[in-house]
Structure 1
Amino acid sequence: MAGITKEPLLFASADRTSQIKGWLWLPEGTPKGVVQLTHGMAEHIERYDEFARFLAGRGFAVCGHDQIGHGASAPLGKHGCLPAAHGAAVLIADVDTLRHLMQTRMGIETPYFLFGHSLGSFITRAYISRHGTGLAGAIICGTGHVPTATSKAGNAVCRLICRLKGEDAVSGLLNSMGVGAYAKAIKDAAGPLDWLSYNRENIRRYEADPLCGFPFSAGGYAVVTALTGEACAPACFARIPHDLPLLFISGDGDPVGSCGEGVRTAFQMARDAGSVDAYCIIYEHMRHEILNEDGRGQVMEDIATWLEERL
């Protein structure tokens, strides 16, 4: 789109070793708001280029980074490797670092929104319970609900495997309990990635992308279960500022959100905890990656409208 510029970002991770790389998409003229994107598991931020350019075309600055263990922020051979003991805290802290870098550049008065997809949705949920004050809103995309007992049990298994095999070890058991379970949830699937989308071209691009689909390590899964344990707890919802606008969006065929059930549970928990501006949209005939389905244009329009109504 004419007038949109794209700039690289670089900052030090809270893990004290990684250099975090990302991108900033700028609209023509002064941004009317900022949207910070947090990507999902086993992918990278440049997959959101179309979405970022769409929002920039509507006047928003958009930023996002490759998380530790992902994309350009991960050393060769270390994709999917995250530190079991403190990885969740690092992921949350890196979101906070980028937020403050952008607010310093754009001005604290510029409305600031968060958008998190999949694993990024759980990071965002944990983040807004800790640092939600001052945000203009948060969009929770492709999320779900994991009971506390399930997260605790899963985390215990992950930590045991970390002790026995090392936190960078790849476990078939953990993979079958994680993304493998999503693949099995799709009946008559043509392949193991059908849970991502109905859109076959999106699946082909994902398969061909060397920065997508890599296995998570035992330490990585320990981080995932720690995040779901925090983000899905009632206490987490209770700490979210009650006046912070929330938008939950998902596909009705997304196994991460139990085909809408888990998303509605998270949405209702937010409402029950006191959120006064929370909305939920479940899109028909869409799976996990609603921003990559054939009907993504409507999803993007709905997001832009929601953002503009909260400026």
Structure 2
Amino acid sequence: MDTIRREELRLASADGRSTIRALVWSGAADDWAPRATVQVMHGMAEHVERYERLARILVAHGLAVCGDDHIGHGASCEPARRGCLPARGGAEALVEDEHALRLRVAEILGDVPHFLLGHSLGSYMARVYLATHGEGIAGAVLSGTGTLPVAVSWAGHALALAVCAARGEDHRSRLLDGMGVGAYARAVPGPTGCEWLSRDEANVAAYVADERCGFPFSAGGYAAVTKLTARACSLRWARRVPHDVPLLLVAGAEDPVGDCGRGVRAAAELARRAGQRNVEVHIYEGMRHEIFNEREGGSVMGDVCSWLCAQLGESRDTREGQ
């Protein structure tokens, strides 16, 4: 008998037109009660079900997990509209949808400590979320994050808006994609163009075979993403984050999104300059962007689980299989 219960929720998106599909993982026993909740924010061009293994590990240690398919992703849109986000208001909708999910899950599971876990695009969403709705957050794990010059993000945002004006916000621009995801593919060349994600060929093959992954973003999508990165990497926005929220930044040493660790450490330093009192960084040698899906991903999940338990006042070995 499965010891994990998985439930589906539907929420109206702040974009005014989408219906967000969310999942909640919890213990299957009738008397199971979470010690905390962990809200997963997935990355660009993927979906929340890719975090099933992580969710099961966390639930096994008493932590409920929730997460949604963002607008333009997974089951929150029609397949033809994957990657399509509003050019104006899209960044805000991404963040506000996460807040709506947090409130809904609190109604279901009760008032327990609430953590964020954002990967890649989700890490930038989490950073902006902390600056806008950070009160009461017990801690945040930022996976596969980085640091982009704010001026570069705003320039990219202006270019994306110009493409939207000329070709429409749903237009798939080779120029924008080449400056975005294409830059990471060039940093780690390979036959699929997705080798930058992982050194594990099986993981790359599964990503390529998944129709819910790897789709190109629209011009509107890039307008939303660049607005998020501009805010997340801004000292002014970082100073809005409550200073008592513990942060854990995890990344692969060969991840081009985090500039092979340099951008991750810069993000941590930005948080410290902004006043954060508890910031940890773990850089994993031999791993690329999707550290949870590398061959050694179980050890990363164990480290994250141990950190979450430590924030709850526990000290325990939570490596996978313990």
The answer on 1:172 being equivalent to 2:191 is no
> What is aligned with 2:315?
none
Q: What residue number does 2:18 align with?
A: 18
Query: Is 1:85 paired with 2:88?
Result: yes
Matches within 5 A, 1:164-243: 164-186=166-188, 189-243=190-244
Please report how far the alpha carbon of residue 191 of structure 1 lies from its aligned counterpart in structure 2 after TM superposition: 3.2
1:30 equivalent in alignment to 2:33? yes
Q: Which residue of 1 aligns with 2:316?
A: none
CA distance in 2, matches of 1:75, 1:46: 17
- 2:68 corresponds to which residue? 65
Corresponding residue number in structure 2 for 1:149: 151
In structure 1, the residue matched to 2:123 is 121
Q: Within the alignment, does 1:100 sit opposite 2:107 as a pair?
A: no
SS at match of 1:212: coil
Deviations 1:136-169 (A, max 9, x none): 0011110000101101111111010000000000
Alpha-carbon distance, 1:284 to partner: 0.5
Amino acid at match of 1:3: T
* Separation of aligned partners in 1, 2:304 and 2:216: 31
Given the two structures, how large is their TM-score scaled by the length of structure 2? 0.94
Q: CA deviation at 1:2?
A: 3.9
Q: Alpha carbon RMSD of aligned pairs, Å?
A: 1.0
- Provide the rounded CA distance (Å) in 2 between the counterparts of 1:153 and 1:14: 25
- Please give the alpha-carbon distance, in whole angstroms, between the structure 1 residues aligned to 2:236 and 2:187: 30
Report the 3-state secondary structure (helix = DSSP H, G, I; strand = E; otherwise coil) of the residue aligned with 2:287.
coil
Partner residue of 2:318? none
TM-score, length-scaled by structure 1 = 0.98
Q: How far did residue 120 of structure 1 move?
A: 0.4
Note the C-alpha offset of 1:106.
1.7
C-alpha displacement of 1:271 = 1.0
Q: Secondary structure at the match of 2:194?
A: coil
Distance 1:2 1:275 in 2: 40
Q: Distance in 1 between matches of 2:79 and 2:263?
A: 35
Q: Could you tell me which residue of structure 2 aligns to residue 269 of structure 1?
A: 270
Distance, in Å, in 2 between the alignment partners of 1:209 and 1:191 is 13
Task: Tell me which amino acid in the other structure corresponds to 2:118.
Answer: G
Q: Which residue of 2 aligns with 1:136?
A: 138
Comparing 84-93 with 16-25, greater Cα deviation is found at: 16-25
Q: Which amino acid aligns with 2:39?
A: Q
Pair 1:288-2:289 in alignment: yes
Q: Number of aligned pairs?
A: 309
2:311 counterpart residue number: 310
What's the counterpart of residue 41 of structure 1?
44
Q: Which whole-Å CA distance do the structure 2 matches of 1:226 and 1:278 have between them?
A: 24
Percent identical residues: 50
| Structure 1 counterpart SS, 2:66 | strand
**Distance in 1 (alpha carbons) for counterparts of 2:170 and 2:191:** 30
CA offset digits 1:29-68 (Å, max 9, x no partner) = 1111100000010000001111111111111100100000
- Partners in 1 of 2:91 and 2:242 — Cα distance? 21
In 1: Cα distance, 2:183 partner to 2:44 partner = 15
Q: Tell me, what secondary structure is at the counterpart of 2:81?
A: coil
CA distance in structure 2 between the partners assigned to 1:45 and 1:165 by the alignment: 30
Alignment match, 1:56: 59
**Per-residue CA shift, 1:264-285, capped at 9, x if unaligned?**
0000111111111110100010
State the distance in 2 between where 1:191 and 1:225 align: 25
Paired residue secondary structure (1:77): helix
Matched to 1:83, the amino acid is P
Q: C-alpha displacement at 1:10, in angstroms? A: 1.0
Gaps of 5+ in 2: 313-322
Between the aligned partners of 1:30 and 1:227, the Cα distance in structure 2 is: 34
